[in-house]
Amino acid sequence: MDRSNALKTLAAVIGLLALVAVPIIADAAGSTAWISMATRILIYGMAAASLNFALGYGGLVSFGHAAFFGLGGYVVGILYQTYADETLLFGFIPGTNQLLVTLPATILVTGIAAAAIGALSLRTGGVQFIMITLAFAQMLFFFFSGLSAYGGEDGLIIRRTNELFGLNMRDRATLYWVTLAITALFFVIYRRLTMSSFGTIVSGLRQNERRMAALGIEAYRYRLIAFILSGIGTGIAGAMLANVMRFTSPDLLAWHTSGQLMIMVILGGVGTVTGPFLGAAVLLILEDVLNAWTENWPLILGLVLLVVVLQARGGLMAIVNLVRGNRS
């Protein structure tokens, strides 16, 4: 037991070191594009992991998480534009370009949005829940598409990445490391959450709501809190994506973004801690590789997904665990 724990810790340390070394290796290999790719993988990983808490642990199949992803982006974008124009948002909120302000603002905004959307959607279940979350996300999509003051359909350009402690955020490697630090913190909290007392209740409700009711659990309020936490996590990822791309647009709010996050979760392994990160990495890299190869890449991607889902019902994590199990 101690030995396997020591091995796990060792694997985690090696993994973290490898992640820290990505920009150095990419520089040495002369492929700086790897740095952007790695940054995006971390960000989409956070978004997918957040969705996984609702979907995989809570059994809440949300098809509207793009709403929180996009909202996070617009919080950064709108606050930046307000800052650049030296105006006040709604007449009283000053703009900002400080990451230490925009991230808490994202948490606040996406938390409130998730509370509102969740409070209404969670009155339904099953397919209706999927459709209602989708409808809310589409409403936000059309809202921001029509919001011409902030770019409308064209999206909103953010001229400079948010500042943090006077670091040179224009440097891709620095931005990667900042993203990595945020992702690491996110991962620790997320992993804890899944194993916590609250996480146990949420996952119990997925498995058997009737049993949990017989033990004294009112499903609604626990699911609502889970949905809010999940929305906030996705929102933080969206805020980071806007910072990295220096751009945000209604596309982030569209249904195919929700689908993309869902595919990452399913590909990586529903209800696993690291699966969504793995799923994000595989999907983004595959998209990139196949896109360079043929313009019919979605067809091939679809086939790959089909094989993974049919062959390993637990996603890529099931394959990883299988390999691990065989070794020990």
Partner 1 sequence: MSAPVLKVEGLVKRFGGLTATDHVDFDLADGEIHALIGPNGAGKSTLINQICGEMRQDEGRILLDGLDISGHSAPQRAKMGLARAFQVPSLLNDVTVLDNVTVAVQIRHHRTYRISDSPRGRRDLFAEAEGFLAGTGLAHRGDIVVSDLSHGERKQLELVVARATKPRLLLLDEPMAGLGASESQEMIETLSTLREAHGILLVEHDMDAVFNLADRISVLVYGRIIAHGTVDEIRADPEVQRAYLGEEDA
Distance CA 23, CA 32 (A): 8
Work out whether 306 is an interface residue with partner 1 (CB under 8 A).
no
Single residue of 28, 210, 292, 325 touching partner 1 by CB under 8 A: 210
Of 155, 111, 151, nearest to 249 (Cα)?
155
Quick one: which segment of 94-102, 153-161, 206-214, 318-326 binds partner 1 (CB under 8 A)? 206-214
Contact 129, 122 (CB under 8 A): yes
Give me the residues paired with residue 163 across strands. 98
Contact status: 54 vs partner 1 (CB under 8 A)? no
Q: Is 61 in the site for partner 1 (CB under 8 A)?
A: no
Pick between residue 66 and residue 265 the one whose CB is nearest to partner 1. 265
Beta carbons within 10 angstroms of residue 183's beta carbon:
23
Establish if 319 lies at the interface with partner 1 (CB under 8 A).
no
Torsion (CA) 98, 99, 102, 107 in degrees, nearest 10? -160
Note whether 276 binds partner 1 by CB under 8 A.
no
Please state the closest distance from residue 40 (CB atom) to partner 1, in A: 28
Site string for partner 1, 222-261 (x = CB under 8 A): x--x---x--------------------------------
What gap in Å lies between CA 240 and CA 256, rounded to an integer? 19
Cα 198 to Cα 160, 193, 229: the distances in Å are 39, 7, 12
Q: Which of 30, 126, 166, 216 forms a contact with partner 1 (CB under 8 A)?
A: 216
Q: Any contact of residue 185 with partner 1 (CB under 8 A)?
A: no
Instruction: For partner 1, give the closer residue by CB, 59 or 72.
Output: 59
The three-state secondary structure class of 162 is coil
Q: How many residues bind partner 1 (CB under 8 A)?
A: 26
Beta bridge partners of 248: 156
Beta bridge partners of 93: 89
End-to-end alpha carbon distance in the chain: 13
Taking the least distance from each CB to partner 1, the nearer of 131 and 225 is 225
Q: In the bound complex, what is the minimum distance in angstroms from residue 224's beta carbon to partner 1?
A: 12
123 binding partner 1? (CB under 8 A):
no
Applying CB under 8 A, which residues contact partner 1? 189, 192-193, 195-201, 203-204, 207-208, 210-218, 222, 225, 229
